[in-house]
Structure 1
Amino acid sequence: MRTSREELTWAKARSGPAPVEPFARALRAAETELSAAFAIRRRYEEGLPGDAAARRQALVGVVGRCAEAGRRLDAEAAAFDRLRALERDLGGALDHAERRCRALAGPTAGTGATVAELGERYGPMAAEPVRGHPEQAKDRLLFATAELDRARRDADSDDTGRAVRHLRAAEGAITQADVFVGGVERLARQLAEAAALVPSALTGAEADLAQARGQVPRAPAARPGATGRRGAAGAPAARPGAPPPPQGRAAAYRIPFGEFRARLAHADAVLAAVRGKLTGGPYDPLDALRRIARAVEPVGAGRSGAVPLGGFLAARGATEIAEDFVTTHRAAVGAEARTLLAEAVRLLARGDTRAADELARTAREFAERDVRIHGNPYTGESGYAAGLAGAVLGGVLLGEDPDGGPPATFGGPRSRDRLRP
């Protein structure tokens, strides 16, 4: 799905939007099927449905949805190849890929300085999600450059088939280099936006907490000179036949009195800690917005103004970071991380920012775990091409042969390796 989306972008750049619309439509239909499969899988992992027969049927539904998504893309593969016509316009396609590769060289060279600057300005944890992006972008561009050189030589030797394979591999690597560079630039923008929002979010949250305190009921004061037995909470005991005392709940949210007070105290502590960071040196503003939103949520505050916007910015950033990681390491990332990410995307679109944020962060953790477990059998020592290991890990090459295998293409499971020699 990701490869098809990426190659569709290359086709659109050369052919325009109208000719690629049938393939874009097929891709959207396939994405709908896959989204449904992820949703069923997510419910299954949560224990729904509970009946054994229904659970087996749910898994059948997952398989069926995935198969239908692949079938839709496979059905369009041949027509898509006719649209791209790389064999007939190899020179033009190579020129276009080389221009994109050169255009990325400058931004890629500057990403290292950007990451270092983000670490100095906002602290090392703020820059951590893109820490390795500069090196990986350079790695993909090295691979793309080598593949483009090979494609040129093969085209000059009239070996069109080999030239197309090298060109397609270069296109995939260039796309992923763009993802790495774009991730650094996007995080820089988001951190600046978050830093500008933190003071107003903090002030708004403090005002919301002050308002929430007005909902805490107070025990009735004792009458001057009153004596007698007192209740466990220190309030005068009720006289026989007297009306019952207040139940000790926050009126608007039906939270028990003691718990509501505890939540307010915790929120106060979190906001005080965040305010201290504003003057205590570099801090991660996206994490600060996340902490503010989570602190006031348990007391029903922070539903308007800058607080929910801050929570959304944090959730969106976490989701995009996870999406980038899965995209650029997709050969190693398993179904668990992908399922969580799909659910995070769905919840973010629905406005459930806290759940989306948590799931996206967990999805990235699981994806990183998958990459560590997967390891990397392609050391690059064969001399085949610079960046071979990254190209295989990123799914640019299918990794089915010692030389990295054929490049992935638009299509489903039956057609995506059709450039195999």
Structure 2
Amino acid sequence: MTSSLFRGRPRRATAHIRARVAHAVLGALVGAGWLVLPVMTVDTRDPVPVAPAGAVASAAASSQAGTSAADLVLPLVAGVAAVALAGFGWLRRTRRARTRTTPGTVSAHPPVPAPAASERQARAALRLADDCVRTSREELSFVRERFGEQRTEPFTHALRAAGTELSAAFAVWRRYEEGVPQEAGARRQALAGVIGRCAEAGRRLDAQAEALDRLRDLTADGEGMRAALEVAEERFRELAARAMAAQRTLAALRERYARSVAGSVTGYVEQAKDRLVFAGARLNEARQAADVGETRRAAWQLRAGEGAVAQAGVLVGGVERLAAQVREAAGLVPAALTGAEAELAAARRTAPAPGEPEARPAEVRRESGRGSPAPGEPAARSAHVDGVLAVVREELTGGPYDPLDALRRITRAVERLTGVRSGVLGAAALLVARSSVAGAEEFVGVHRGAVGAEARARLAEAARELGAGSAGWADVVAGEARRLADRDVRAHGTEGDATGPAGAVLGGILLGEDPDGGPPPAFGGPQTRSRLHR
């Protein structure tokens, strides 16, 4: 077993040892040269010999005729030193080439990131890109309200392009989660594609951030700030009135229908009120800062107030949406029951013979996980539909019930039997799916400070399936997204006390980079979204 001493040694220790050896060799050679030099030049004769005049001429002639050994010592030492220096330089260049990390260096064998590290990077990229798109959409709504569609078209186009890239990245990620592709190299390429598409989405938004700031003109003079404050304050006042009405609407839903009806929007009115309190304080501080010429602080406070107003609108709108969809569902339930009974009767008339495989739509096969029914399965499914319809009829006459859940049970039971998606049952399935997707979208949007990539990926898949007409599967996946998002929020630990700055961080209104909540995000990608940091 390797000693802990050697396990703890850095990888570059070998290179350092080589350099030290080269230093030692060079020093030894130079020292040996200087030690040999006096020995080679020792002469036993007197320093100033007394010689006859004739002998002087003879000695000079003999010195010119030949070369003494002392004359060879200095060139020899210089040559050895040059060789040693060249070897030392080669070692230094080799070591730098192996450890260099500058962009210009191209390694013959670049390091391959571990799958776990690449997956973490992909999740982080998806979450960041999704936050950038959501924040940019929120701020752009205020800018569009002030300047109109035509002047904000470049930003709308950038946001749309970023959303397209993000949707493609989520689609690749979902296939990766499902094990497609299977080959290791292809899976690495898939993760690289996810990260690259997220980067492109951010780049699209970053490219327009400066132009949007110039259009808003929040820091140049007071006029742009005053106009932006008027837009935000007008929406704030409107939402304050709608929040009171939403509270009454929610109370009416709980009184008339089953408790499960309002379960998806539980706490929304309270959270909306908290967001409005936060927004009111930020907008007031923005106006005060603008009055004394502190334009950058005013812009900080304005963006925080706009983010809170936007999320209050999502929360209040969620209650209003649910109430409208519940009323629509209650009107559809009797017709859906009639349609389901007709489809059940038709299915019984055309039931396949025992042992004959049954053709079912791809969506139904995907939900059940099977291709052909087992012997006796059609009859069992028919009995299941009968049971579901009987329970729904009993609920209609037995007191408060959940119309959306009743439609969900009816449509799922009939779809597993016949795959019907048209007529009243198709409309009912679409209504249920739209409600599920919208509910998950609202929850993720106002809790995005805590929601991870898995829930966001499921939500993106649900939106794609809904757009493709697969209402039943969209409903299923949206339910998964909501459950995953709920799990993330509970793990975050602030759902019970999501007020003030804590609620703003949970909602992504503040980035949470500082003890006071940090800066509010702005329109843009990863490079520009936190430019309002004080």
Residue 507 (structure 2) aligns with: 394
| Equivalent residue for 1:297, pick from 415, 427, 435 | 415
Render the CA deviation track for 1:264-297: whole Å, top value 9, x for unaligned: 1111111111111110111111111110011111
Question: TM-score by structure 2 length?
Answer: 0.71
Tell me the percent identity: 59
SS of aligned partner of 2:395:
helix
Q: Offset at 1:180?
A: 0.6
Residue 533 (structure 2) aligns with: 420
Residue 29 (structure 1) aligns with: 161
Residue 174 (structure 1) aligns with: 309
Residue 315 (structure 1) aligns with: 433
Residue 223 (structure 1) aligns with: none
Render the CA deviation track for 1:45-83: whole Å, top value 9, x for unaligned: 001001111111100110000011111111111111001
Residue 241 (structure 1) aligns with: none
Q: After superposing the two structures, state which structure 1 stretch, 346-355 or 84-93, moved more.
A: 84-93
Partners of 1:267 and 1:377 in 2: CA distance: 39
Partners of 2:241 and 2:421 in 1: CA distance: 43
Partners of 1:303 and 1:96 in 2: CA distance: 44
Q: Offset at 1:316?
A: 0.7
The reply to whether residue 94 of structure 1 matches residue 221 of structure 2 is: no
Partners of 2:164 and 2:422 in 1: CA distance: 32
CA contact (8 A) 1:208 1:301 kept: no
Partners of 2:347 and 2:462 in 1: CA distance: 30
Aligned residue identity for 1:336: E
**Runs of at least 4 residues off by over 4 Å:** 250-257, 377-380
1:247 to 1:370, Cα distance in 2 relative to 1, 3 A: closer
Q: What pairs up with 1:32-47 in 2 under 5 angstroms?
A: 32-47=164-179
Which of structures 1 and 2 has the larger relative contact order (alpha carbons within 8 angstroms, sep 6+)? 1
Residue 158 (structure 1) aligns with: 293
Q: Offset at 1:249?
A: 3.1
| Equivalent residue for 1:403, pick from 516, 520, 524 | 516
CA contact (8 A) 1:143 1:173 kept: yes
Q: What pairs up with 1:342-361 in 2 under 5 angstroms?
A: 342-361=460-479
Pairwise CA RMSD of aligned residues? 1.7
Residue 249 (structure 2) aligns with: 114
The reply to whether residue 57 of structure 1 matches residue 195 of structure 2 is: no
Partners of 2:275 and 2:206 in 1: CA distance: 27
Aligned residue identity for 2:236: C
Partners of 2:319 and 2:228 in 1: CA distance: 28
Partners of 1:248 and 1:192 in 2: CA distance: 44
Render the CA deviation track for 1:367-400: whole Å, top value 9, x for unaligned: 11111111239979xxxxx722211111111110
| Equivalent residue for 2:213, pick from 72, 81, 85 | 81
Partners of 2:496 and 2:332 in 1: CA distance: 45
Q: Which ranges in structure 1 are unaligned for 5 or more consecutive residues? A: 218-245, 381-385
Aligned residue identity for 1:260: P
CA contact (8 A) 1:397 1:404 kept: yes
* Structure label with greater radius of gyration: 2
Residue 386 (structure 2) aligns with: 268
Q: Offset at 1:251?
A: 6.8
Q: After superposing the two structures, state which structure 1 stretch, 389-398 or 32-41, moved more.
A: 389-398
CA contact (8 A) 1:202 1:292 kept: yes
Residue 239 (structure 1) aligns with: none
Residue 195 (structure 1) aligns with: 330
CA contact (8 A) 1:344 1:355 kept: yes
Residue 261 (structure 2) aligns with: 126
Partners of 1:361 and 1:209 in 2: CA distance: 27
SS of aligned partner of 1:216:
coil
Q: Which ranges in structure 2 are unaligned for 5 or more consecutive residues? A: 1-132, 361-371
Partners of 1:288 and 1:322 in 2: CA distance: 19
Q: In the comparison of the two structures, how many residue pairs are matched?
A: 388
Aligned residue identity for 2:430: F
Render the CA deviation track for 1:286-326: whole Å, top value 9, x for unaligned: 11111001111122153332111111111110000000001
Residue 208 (structure 1) aligns with: 343
Partners of 1:256 and 1:331 in 2: CA distance: 47
Partners of 1:212 and 1:48 in 2: CA distance: 36
Aligned residue identity for 1:23: F
Residue 492 (structure 2) aligns with: 374
Aligned residue identity for 2:201: A
CA contact (8 A) 1:2 1:327 kept: yes
Residue 224 (structure 1) aligns with: none
SS of aligned partner of 1:154:
helix
Q: Offset at 1:104?
A: 1.1
Partners of 1:182 and 1:134 in 2: CA distance: 10
| Equivalent residue for 1:146, pick from 266, 269, 281 | 281
SS of aligned partner of 1:279:
helix
Residue 70 (structure 1) aligns with: 202
Partners of 2:460 and 2:181 in 1: CA distance: 19
1:33 to 1:301, Cα distance in 2 relative to 1, 3 A: closer
**Larger % of helix: which?**
2
Aligned residue identity for 2:532: L
CA contact (8 A) 2:489 2:495 kept: no
1:98 to 1:53, Cα distance in 2 relative to 1, 3 A: same
CA contact (8 A) 2:145 2:231 kept: no
SS of aligned partner of 1:55:
helix
Partners of 1:54 and 1:358 in 2: CA distance: 29
Partners of 1:67 and 1:5 in 2: CA distance: 18
Partners of 1:301 and 1:90 in 2: CA distance: 56
Partners of 1:26 and 1:49 in 2: CA distance: 31
The reply to whether residue 7 of structure 1 matches residue 125 of structure 2 is: no
Q: After superposing the two structures, state which structure 1 stretch, 82-91 or 249-258, moved more.
A: 249-258
Question: TM-score by structure 1 length?
Answer: 0.89
Partners of 1:199 and 1:361 in 2: CA distance: 25
Aligned residue identity for 1:183: G
